[in-house]
Amino acid sequence: MSSADVIWGMSRPSPGGPAAPVAAPPPPAEVLILGVGNLLVGDEGVGVHALRALEAETWPAQVHLVDGGTGGFHLLELLGSYPRIILIDATRDGAAPGTVSQFRARVAADFPPALGAHDIGLRDLISAATLLGPLPEIEVITVSVTELKPMTLELSAPVAAALPEVARRVRALLAG
Amino acid sequence: MSTRIVVDPITRIEGHLRIEAEVKDGRITDAWSAGTMVRGIEIILKGRDPRDAWAFTERVCGVCTTVHALASVRSVEDALGIAVPPNAELIRNLMFCAQYMQDHVVHFYHLHALDWVDVVNALKADPAETSRIAQSISHWPKSSPQYFHDLQKRLTSFVETGQLGIFANAYWGHPAYKLPPEVNLIGVAHYLEALEWQKEMVKVHTIFGGKNPHPNYLVGGVPCALNIDEANAINAERLAYVGRLFEEGARFVEQVYLPDLLAVAPYYLDWTQIGGGVSNYLCYGDLPTNGFADVARFKFPRGAVLDRDLSQVHPVDPRDPDGVQESIAHSWYTYRGGEDKALHPWAGETKFNYTGPKPPYENLNVDGKYSWLKTPRWKGHAMEVGPLARMLVGYASGQEEIKEAVTETLAALKAPPAVLFSTLGRTAARGIETRLIARWAKEFYGQLIANIRNGDSRTFTKEKWEPSTWPAEARGVGPSEAPRGALAHWIVIKDRKIENYQLVVPSTWNASPRDGSGQRSPYEAALIGTPVHDPAQPLEILRTVHSFDPCLACAVHLYDDQGGKVGEASTSPAV
């Protein structure tokens, strides 16, 4: 996948036809795989890059893949529509770039702090979601990043090399 | 003696705006506004296919995700001379309206209300009295004593467990909070209801844009097919759903947002005398009703008001090389032609030149460069953009619907038009235009349905889609009115690729640093005279800055160039 294709994923619109799928009302789906991050900031976008890679695979009908981008409050609807979510995001936790970690998030403080380019950070979003009711079951897979490079769509080599491991963990979580 | 106070970041939810202010005898005497993150979308776009630009620009912001896509496709259509079919214009208008309704309600309740509503004080409210007040201001059904009783119980448990969550960083108990506990409780109730409500409103984007966040746009139209009988198109069932979303959205605006605004405002009328700032207002206009080329028939008229003189509207042309210009006297950039140049965006340059202190730092050097925002000016004037500018330009232009809505609200507050030039005026203008937008959305929806009934299902024109039909060079501008104000993208196309691309976004107009001649920009000017009861708890600064609805993600995005957290320099809690 070329660097520019990552921005489109599976939904590049084309003229003259209904290329974009028409969304149904809240889906009765069971698992949401949500990749978040800003594609315009290099490694910060690893969550969306990982999602793009997963989109190329085949998944059972009850598994929904969504590019959450920098969606902010727009993501609140998704959080409330699924009993189980696997969230993929970048984190600047001091570990070597490309390190993949995972944990079960229970409260807002468990989530990685925003790296600056999500406008409304995940912590804010989860705080808001807890006001509305119990959180769904959320597994977070993070990829450690160090340098955030502006003006680039590409991942650095160590972070790009982590994508197969992210995919493996997603499959393991779904199997478990 | 004066004290320098720093608020960083200042957006309620995570942000990248820093304000430094001098306070003397309890009032702000001077202020500086700095964007502390660098921006570079222009550099990413260079050399790309112009038809793809919208998808990149849409990613710069997670709050108003659609507005950059709209400005971008318009800039390309302008460059290539493309007129989109009427249905495409209507669908774009409907997405625009849904964005405004969601965004303004979220701003009012989730980004601004807590500057006025004391959440902790709501614990003292009497549910029966709260119910009586709620029912006296609105027919909104969720208003029984039991409802408020249950809500208060929930809130009490939040506070007792110490899990204030999103309510955690605030100045509860500050003497500048004036609402009775019952009105505070109504505010908290509607904060929570609005969180639920906004989830519904944005479904309009999913339906027409195929996905959300970051819905799809298309140069030449919209990427969705209209066919009332076709399962995979925007069919009768989908259209009916959109109609319901706008009906319910309008009900929330009329029965919750506007009544709350009018109930809270009388307790804070002193804020009609504070926060006026610059006296010039700019609006590019938007919501075409007869095609985008017919500017005279936009719902929001285009124009400029200077010196608060509402008897005159000055014509604005985004293509005029002497109109909109950006300078960098106090911004971390360089221009090839020299530091003192002001460039029209078609000739704009984006070259970084960070000369600020290494974080963490105490204060910025405000005599030199102190922001990642450039400083835009219109014919040399510092201009405020946003809801207040739209309402003032509309009012001064004689747009009847705007005049009527403004007059009605002023009558309800028993106040003259001059109160609009203030912090509270800005917040009121946002409510007024949301009400108009909710009505207009129904109008556009009705027209779309009528077109489809009459057999017109066109949503795209393929004329000029193929690059082989393009001229060797072309320039275009895509003006729009984002919820936060005038937004435009300027594009230069050469050999079918993007040669130059510049965005001038609302928060750049409002939050920029001074220009080369020392004129303050809107935030900086608006803060002068703002009272500060306690420099350690600068709630009043937040009121004025939040009244502009700061969204620094698109004004300056990407990251702290120095790799550190600039926020560590703050002397007050980040809110």
Q: What is the DSSP string of A15-84?
A: TTS--SPPPPSS---SEEEEEES-TTBGGGGHHHHHHHHHHTS---TTEEEEEEET-GGGGHHHHTT-SE
A18-35: pLDDT as tens digits? 444 444 555 545 899 999
B window 13-52, beta carbon within 8 A of A: 13-16, 37-41, 43-44, 48, 52
Residue B97 appears among annotated catalytic residues: no
End-to-end CA distance of chain A: 30
Is residue B535 scored above 90 in pLDDT?
A: no
* Residue of A3, A12, A22 best to disrupt the B interface, most CBs of B under 10 A: A22
Is residue B367 scored above 90 in pLDDT?
A: yes
Identify whether B574 is part of a domain.
no
Query: Does A167 contact chain B (CB < 8 Å)?
Result: no
The answer to whether A147 and A96 are in contact (CB under 8 A) is no
Query: Does A128 contact chain B (CB < 8 Å)?
Result: yes
How close B26 gets to chain A, by Cα (Å)? Answer: 32
Is residue B209 scored above 60 in pLDDT?
A: yes
Question: For residue B396, what are the contacts with CB-CB under 8 A and spacing of at least 6?
Answer: B303, B305, B310, B311, B312, B313
Is residue B160 scored above 80 in pLDDT?
A: no
A155 DSSP 8-state letter: P
What is the pLDDT, as a whole number, of residue B89?
A: 98
How close A13 gets to chain B, by Cα (Å)? Answer: 6
Is residue B485 scored above 70 in pLDDT?
A: yes
Q: What's the mean pLDDT in B560-564?
A: 30
Query: Does B124 contact chain A (CB < 8 Å)?
Result: no
- Does the distance separating the beta carbons of A44 and B223 come in below 8 Å? no
- Does the distance separating the beta carbons of A128 and B166 come in below 8 Å? yes
Calculate the average pLDDT of chain B: 90
Residue B362 appears among annotated catalytic residues: no
* Residue of B16, B43, B44 best to disrupt the A interface, most CBs of A under 10 A: B44
Q: What's the mean pLDDT in B15-25?
A: 83
Calculate the average pLDDT of chain A: 81
Q: What's the mean pLDDT in B274-280?
A: 97
What is the pLDDT, as a whole number, of residue B562?
A: 32
Range of the domain at B161: 3-569
What is the pLDDT, as a whole number, of residue A3?
A: 56
More confident of the two residues B80 and B60:
B80
- The alpha-carbon radius of gyration of chain B (Å, integer) is 23
What is the pLDDT, as a whole number, of residue B358?
A: 81
More confident of the two residues B374 and B569:
B374
- Does the distance separating the beta carbons of B15 and A119 come in below 8 Å? yes
Identify whether B118 is part of a domain.
yes
What is the pLDDT, as a whole number, of residue B62?
A: 62
Describe the crossing of helices B145-160 and B181-201 by its angle, rounded to 10 degrees.
90
How close B507 gets to chain A, by Cα (Å)? Answer: 14
What is the rounded CA–CA span in Å between residue B406 and residue B392? 9
| Residues of chain B positioned with their CB less than 8 A from the CB of A128 | 110, 165-166, 195
The residue type of A121 is G
A window 15-74, beta carbon within 8 A of B: 15-23, 25, 38-41, 44, 66-74
- Does the distance separating the beta carbons of B203 and A150 come in below 8 Å? no
Residue B224 appears among annotated catalytic residues: no
Residue B283 appears among annotated catalytic residues: no
Query: Does B234 contact chain A (CB < 8 Å)?
Result: yes
Query: Does B460 contact chain A (CB < 8 Å)?
Result: yes
A40-73: pLDDT as tens digits? 888 989 999 999 999 999 999 999 999 988 877 7
What is the pLDDT, as a whole number, of residue A113?
A: 63
More confident of the two residues B123 and B561:
B123
B519 DSSP 8-state letter: P
Nearest Cα to A37, choosing from A164, A155, A170, A167?
Answer: A155
CATH numbers and ranges of domains, chain A? 27-175 (3.40.50.1450)
What is the pLDDT, as a whole number, of residue A133?
A: 79
Report the CATH number at residue B358. 1.10.645.10
What is the pLDDT, as a whole number, of residue B88?
A: 98
Lookup result for tokens 């947002």? B257
The pLDDT confidence band at residue B13, using thresholds 50, 70 and 90, is very low
What is the pLDDT, as a whole number, of residue A18?
A: 44
Lookup result for tokens 């619109």? A13
Q: How many CB atoms lie within 10 A of CB B161?
A: 9
Nearest CA in chain B to A108: B165
The residue type of B107 is H
The answer to whether A95 and A158 are in contact (CB under 8 A) is no
The answer to whether A142 and A165 are in contact (CB under 8 A) is no
What is the pLDDT, as a whole number, of residue B213?
A: 84
Is residue A172 scored above 80 in pLDDT?
A: yes
Partner residue facing B223 (CB), from A20, A72, A119:
A20
Question: For residue A153, what are the contacts with CB-CB under 8 A and spacing of at least 6?
Answer: A3, A4, A6, A7, A39, A40, A42, A45, B44
More confident of the two residues A132 and B11:
A132
* Residue of A77, A89, A92, A149 best to disrupt the B interface, most CBs of B under 10 A: A77
| Residues of chain A positioned with their CB less than 8 A from the CB of B158 | 131
β-bridge partners, A137 = A84
Is residue B167 scored above 60 in pLDDT?
A: yes
The answer to whether B487 and B68 are in contact (CB under 8 A) is yes
How many contacts (CB atoms, under 8 Å) link A and B?
A: 184
Partner residue facing B13 (CB), from A23, A107, A124:
A124
- Does the distance separating the beta carbons of A20 and B209 come in below 8 Å? yes
Partner residue facing A15 (CB), from B14, B166, B218:
B218
The answer to whether B552 and B297 are in contact (CB under 8 A) is no
- The alpha-carbon radius of gyration of chain A (Å, integer) is 15
The answer to whether B485 and B388 are in contact (CB under 8 A) is no
B window 339-378, beta carbon within 8 A of A: none
Please count the structural domains in chain B.
Answer: 1
B58-67, B217-226, B305-314: which has the minimum mean pLDDT? B58-67
The pLDDT confidence band at residue B267, using thresholds 50, 70 and 90, is very high
Nearest Cα to B264, choosing from B161, B391, B375, B413?
Answer: B413
Of these ranges, A69-73, B473-477, B541-545, the one predicted with the greatest mean pLDDT is: B473-477
How close A102 gets to chain B, by Cα (Å)? Answer: 23
Residue B64 appears among annotated catalytic residues: yes
Lookup result for tokens 């972070």? A159
What is the four-CA torsion angle of B175, B34, A72, A60, rounded to 10 degrees? Answer: -150
Sign of CA dihedral B439, B445, B448, B452: negative
Is residue A114 scored above 50 in pLDDT?
A: yes
B window 407-426, beta carbon within 8 A of A: none
B397-430: pLDDT as tens digits? 999 999 999 999 999 999 999 999 999 999 999 9
- Does the distance separating the beta carbons of A119 and B13 come in below 8 Å? yes
Nearest Cα to B505, choosing from B548, B554, B467, B472?
Answer: B554
Q: What's the mean pLDDT in A79-93?
A: 90
Backbone angles phi, psi at B314, to 5 degrees: -90, 135
Longest dimension (CA), chain B: 73
The answer to whether B484 and B11 are in contact (CB under 8 A) is no
Nearest CA in chain B to A15: B223
Nearest CA in chain A to B233: A18
Nearest Cα to B279, choosing from B394, B377, B421?
Answer: B421
Which helix (H) or strand (E) segment holds residue B487: the answer is strand B485-494
User: Strand, coil or helix: what is B502?
Assistant: strand
Residue B554 appears among annotated catalytic residues: yes
Sign of CA dihedral B278, B280, B284, B289: positive
| Residues of chain B positioned with their CB less than 8 A from the CB of A22 | 207, 210, 224, 232-234, 238
B132-141, B207-216, B386-395, B417-426: which has the minimum mean pLDDT? B207-216
Burial of B285 (0-12, 13-18, 19+ CB in 10 A): buried
Q: How many CB atoms lie within 10 A of CB B427?
A: 28
Is residue B245 scored above 60 in pLDDT?
A: yes
Q: What's the mean pLDDT in B110-134?
A: 94
What is the rounded CA–CA span in Å between residue A45 and residue A39? 4
The pLDDT confidence band at residue B313, using thresholds 50, 70 and 90, is very high
Nearest Cα to B512, choosing from B544, B555, B562, B483?
Answer: B555
